[in-house]
Structure 1
Amino acid sequence: MEEMFDIVIVGAGLAGVGAAYRVQTMLPNKRFTVLEARGQIGGTWDLFKYPGIRSDSDLTTYGFPFAPWSKERQIASGSEIVNYIRNTVLECGLEDKIRIGHRVLVAEWSSERKKWALKVLVNSKSEVTIYANFIMWASGYYDQLRGLDTIIPGIEKFEGTVAHPQFWPENLDYSDKQVVIIGSGATAITLLPTMSKTAEHVTMLQRSPSYVLTIPTVAVEDQILRKYLPSWISSRLIRWKYLLLPRLTMEFCKYFPGIVRAGMRKFTTSQLPAHIPHDPHFEPRYNMGEQRICLAPDGDFFECLRTKKAVVVTDTIKTVTAHGIELESGNRLAADIIVTATGLKIQLFGGAEIRVDGELVKICDKYAWNGTMLQDVPNASLLIGYTSTSWTLGVDIMTQLVIKLMGVMEKRGADVITPRLDPTMVVNPAQLLDITSTYVKAAVGSTPKAGDRGPWRRRAGYYEDCLKVMFGDITEELVFE
């Protein structure tokens, strides 16, 4: 017997659970299911187990708008976020809609049937086919099975333990060990203060620095609002605060890069111990806002540097030896454990093969319509969030855009909707993701393109997306059949 759904949502992390709630409440007559490849819900936050894993966005905007984060702490641990997602599933009655252990291998569109046929591997054992009128891909933007292939010369000669944050060894004992963390992104900034509490010494080895911004775990103004105002008012004011401040910060960084750089230099220097100079360890090659800003809750990153159990080294690896790392400067770092916090491998559609009428879709050749549908690919949306601000904001507004499109389809009596480039108009390609991180540059050949006009432009931000969804023409360069 064929199993048929109006909508299939792929992924049961923040994006998938959010999409499921929106479909359930905004499209109550649609039959839908959520397919989760892994054995648990929670996505990233259930997969990653490295020490100190936590959010790098405030939970007020990173959480679900329909199930507000209620704790005072805005930076939460991985386990807290997993529990929050699972509790939301239960409270919203979504548990019966989610099928765990269901990995989509192939999604093939048939123009004759006007349906998607999904080949699904169930619990790594058997394959089934599930049919859908529409697919919402909420499977994140990185490969859960493989990390980014970073060339580290001589790593095969190392006789200690090599650990990748994405695949953290169970029960890894780093107490009284010499640890070297390779990387300078959010993961490395998180690992350093956590591991230095137990390890003998931890070195963060970076090729180029990142901006590290100290923020309070619990903001004083949030406490005041909660104390003196009713919860229904304080929660809204706090949410608007976390919606506005990051955007204002990013705009200020964009228009006054010199002032921001000078301010960050002064602020960072004031937190560093005397034995660690600002240059070259905290002088990034890029302007603030061009890559994601690394957060240090309550200044934990700088605090661990002051203990002298942790240090930052800016250099290039010449080779890894049996017992450490030899640098181009001639210096050597002793190591019992090397942590390769060098980034994620970007992968869209959960690694599934996408076909339209038997033809394989080459993702990198396609333009992204409003950042959420692919050129020439019918009845399918890709729910990805913002890279420089809260991920969930971007996912949720795109979910609402797609649901609104389904309403337009019903009004027009259409079964199929497909983004098509106007052949009379020229469009020039641009990078889809709006940051310049190394792992993003490495993924150019596996991500769609953005354009420079109309609905093919790269998404500008949350406020622009909200205006588009509420008041804009959401049918531009779409074909309804």
Structure 2
Amino acid sequence: MDTTTIGSGSAGAEAADLRAVDVLVIGAGLSGIAAGYHLQTRCPGIDYAILEARDAIGGTWDLFRYPGIRSDSDMYTLGFGFRPWIGDKVFADGPSIRDYVRDTAAEFGIDRRILFGHRVVSADWDSATARWRVLVEAGPERRPRRFTCRVLYACSGYYDYAAGHMPDWPGMADFRGSIIHPQDWPADLDHRDKRVVVIGSGATAVTLVPALAESAAHVTMLQRSPTYIVARPSRDAAAGWLRRHLPERLAFRAARWKNVLLSIYFYNLARRKPALVKSKILAGVRHQLGPDQDRHFTPAYDPWDQRLCLVPDGDLFRAIRAGTASVVTDGIERFTETGLRLTSGEELAADIVVAATGLRMKLLAHITLSVDGRPVRVGETTSYKGMMLSGVPNFALALGYTNASWTLKCELTAQHLCRLIRRMDARGADWFMPRPPAPGLATRPAIDLASGYVRRAAADLPRQGDRKPWRLNQNYLLDMAALRYGSVVDDNLAFGQRRDAGGAG
């Protein structure tokens, strides 16, 4: 990789640490490591670097350290297609996933391309040179560094790593116990024999409650409204059979495809016949807890209007049956010195309150994006093939599925980006860019869920259209056909040369 020093005097001091690469990847989580693998495999000779704001590989799986953290997607699809997951758990714990991501980066030499403690502040596309100019803060002292690249690939996820969503409830300052957000879990927090209230009903809450209930005096899951919760075995019997009878890699591929097809079938069934799927889910809850718990597990919306929650081996239900955990559906009037007063007037005593109240979405991780000095307002762009933004040259972002494993879509995106780079070079072009869609295209938010964290960020998310290539499929088979095997070129994608080479820019 090149390191270039340019200029002299004060200008030279400002740009004394300029590094030029072909592709700059932002983020060293699952999607960033997948990007590194496919770039070096499918684009030999491409010079790339990965910038990671934190000091470790793993992204989400290194950041979150709360008790019981685990995947809510099966590991045969959350794992990389190029390096099979060989653990026997379908839903692996956070440390195991973190180790898997780190080991993958080391095995393929991707870790040697990562610059840790490098937080991207801004990126401006310069049409005259057909390069991105990227400003970075490096290290704890936030020393400015500058990079240029031909292609910028954002693999920074879609939520804010700085802090989670924390409502401002009345009386919080009066509470004598501890108020914790799972994103900032204290390593020294002792919850043994304590009364714990977990506010929320999403994936984090249903993970935390059974884990805390193992040693807490009691754990209450306090929810404003219910979520669909489905129990699944923690071990995949079919995958186990395949591993006993087939070579390892073939068994992994078979298990992966089995789970891909099942998830697509279930999601489509839920959208076509929501009443049927709802009745099946609630029947499963009644089997676990009996009919007296119906009001705590019967949402007002249809399945997959928001994400479903999976509980391995029904651990949440098991804790409720054992009496170590319970569910309360009510609103919060205020905090008191000893707990919470609910809208109904009920008092919940607590020593620790965990606000599992969701994420703050931040699609580009606080990066200021611009083209020739003009700010890019992401909420005014339209997503192209679920991976690029209209009017933004040589830029891609990894945006995974909401109804399946994140990694499935991110690997397809990385593969298609490599195809784009090869096509651009073969044409002698310097840039590619999705043209703004034709007037009249009906659009809606790119992440089409009714969840609170999505609604709060809707204005800052790109739009999607009602037809390809502007529509996000949320379907691995359709995306595989389009991104891995479909044409790279269409009428909505422009190629060109830099301005100082006589191109349109």
| TM-score class, shorter | over 0.9
- Residues 282 and 294 of structure 2 are in contact (CA less than 8 Å); yes or no, is this contact kept in structure 1? no
1:45 positional shift: 0.5
Instruction: Work out the CA distance in 1 between the residues paired with 2:108 and 2:177.
Output: 47
2:178 to 152, 157, 161: 161
Instruction: Work out the CA distance in 2 between the residues paired with 1:389 and 1:43.
Output: 18
- Residues 28 and 51 of structure 2 are in contact (CA less than 8 Å); yes or no, is this contact kept in structure 1? yes
Q: Which amino acid aligns with 2:81?
A: P
1:170 positional shift: 2.2
1:153 positional shift: 2.9
1:354 to 369, 376, 388: 369
Instruction: Work out the CA distance in 2 between the residues paired with 1:473 and 1:430.
Output: 25
Q: Which amino acid aligns with 1:390?
A: S
Q: Does 113-122 or 414-423 show the bigger shift?
A: 414-423
1:149 positional shift: 4.0
2:82 to 40, 55, 66: 66
Alignment pair present for 1:441 and 2:455:
yes
Secondary structure of residue in 1 paired with 2:158: coil
Instruction: Work out the CA distance in 1 between the residues paired with 2:228 and 2:165.
Output: 22
Alignment pair present for 1:278 and 2:298:
no
Alignment pair present for 1:419 and 2:434:
yes
Q: Which amino acid aligns with 1:80?
A: S
- Residues 101 and 123 of structure 1 are in contact (CA less than 8 Å); yes or no, is this contact kept in structure 2? yes
Residue 222 of structure 1 is matched in structure 2 by 239
Deviation string, structure 1 residues 23-80 (Cα, Å, up to 9, x no partner):
0100011111100000111100100011100000001100110011011111111100
Q: Which amino acid aligns with 1:67?
A: R
1:139 positional shift: 0.6
Deviation string, structure 1 residues 248-299 (Cα, Å, up to 9, x no partner):
1111111111111111111111101x6x823310101111122211111111
1:436 positional shift: 1.6
2:446 to 424, 432, 437: 432
1:454 positional shift: 3.3
Secondary structure of residue in 2 paired with 1:250: helix
Residue 26 of structure 1 is matched in structure 2 by 42
Alignment pair present for 1:10 and 2:52:
no
Q: Does 257-266 or 60-69 show the bigger shift?
A: 257-266
Alignment pair present for 1:94 and 2:110:
yes
Residue 313 of structure 2 is matched in structure 1 by 298
1:400-411 aligned at under 5 Å gives the runs 400-411=415-426
1:21-170 aligned at under 5 Å gives the runs 21-125=37-141, 126-170=143-187
Instruction: Work out the CA distance in 2 between the residues paired with 1:122 and 1:236.
Output: 40
Q: Does 176-185 or 150-159 show the bigger shift?
A: 150-159
Q: Which amino acid aligns with 2:28?
A: A
Alignment pair present for 1:212 and 2:229:
yes
1:434 positional shift: 2.9
Q: Which amino acid aligns with 2:88?
A: E
Q: Which amino acid aligns with 1:392?
A: T
1:339 to 331, 349, 354: 354
Instruction: Work out the CA distance in 2 between the residues paired with 1:433 and 1:209.
Output: 21
Instruction: Work out the CA distance in 1 between the residues paired with 2:307 and 2:277.
Output: 15
Instruction: Work out the CA distance in 1 between the residues paired with 2:314 and 2:20.
Output: 52
1:183-202 aligned at under 5 Å gives the runs 183-202=200-219
Q: Which amino acid aligns with 2:275?
A: G
TM-score normalised over the length of structure 2 = 0.92
TM-score normalised over the length of structure 1 = 0.97
Assess, with a 3 A threshold, how the Cα gap between structure 1 residues 474 and 434 changes in structure 2: closer, same or farther: farther
1:322 positional shift: 1.4
- Residues 142 and 346 of structure 1 are in contact (CA less than 8 Å); yes or no, is this contact kept in structure 2? yes
1:259 to 241, 263, 276: 276
Secondary structure of residue in 1 paired with 2:296: coil
Instruction: Work out the CA distance in 2 between the residues paired with 1:152 and 1:60.
Output: 40
- Residues 84 and 249 of structure 2 are in contact (CA less than 8 Å); yes or no, is this contact kept in structure 1? no
Q: Which amino acid aligns with 2:468?
A: G
1:422 positional shift: 4.3
Q: Which amino acid aligns with 1:380?
A: F
Residue 395 of structure 1 is matched in structure 2 by 410
For the aligned residue pairs, the C-alpha RMSD in angstroms reads 1.3
- Residues 388 and 434 of structure 1 are in contact (CA less than 8 Å); yes or no, is this contact kept in structure 2? no
Secondary structure of residue in 2 paired with 1:409: helix
> Please, which runs of 5 or more residues in structure 2 have no aligned partner?
6-17, 497-505
- Structure 1 residue ranges, 4+ long, deviating more than 6 angstroms after superposition: none
Secondary structure of residue in 2 paired with 1:455: coil
- Residues 59 and 74 of structure 1 are in contact (CA less than 8 Å); yes or no, is this contact kept in structure 2? yes
1:471 positional shift: 4.0
Residue 465 of structure 1 is matched in structure 2 by 479
1:163 positional shift: 0.3
Q: Which amino acid aligns with 1:467?
A: A
Q: Does 199-208 or 140-149 show the bigger shift?
A: 140-149
1:156 positional shift: 2.6
The percentage of aligned residue pairs carrying the same residue is 41
- Residues 166 and 355 of structure 2 are in contact (CA less than 8 Å); yes or no, is this contact kept in structure 1? no
Instruction: Work out the CA distance in 2 between the residues paired with 1:458 and 1:158.
Output: 44
Instruction: Work out the CA distance in 2 between the residues paired with 1:426 and 1:460.
Output: 23
> Please, which runs of 5 or more residues in structure 1 have no aligned partner?
none
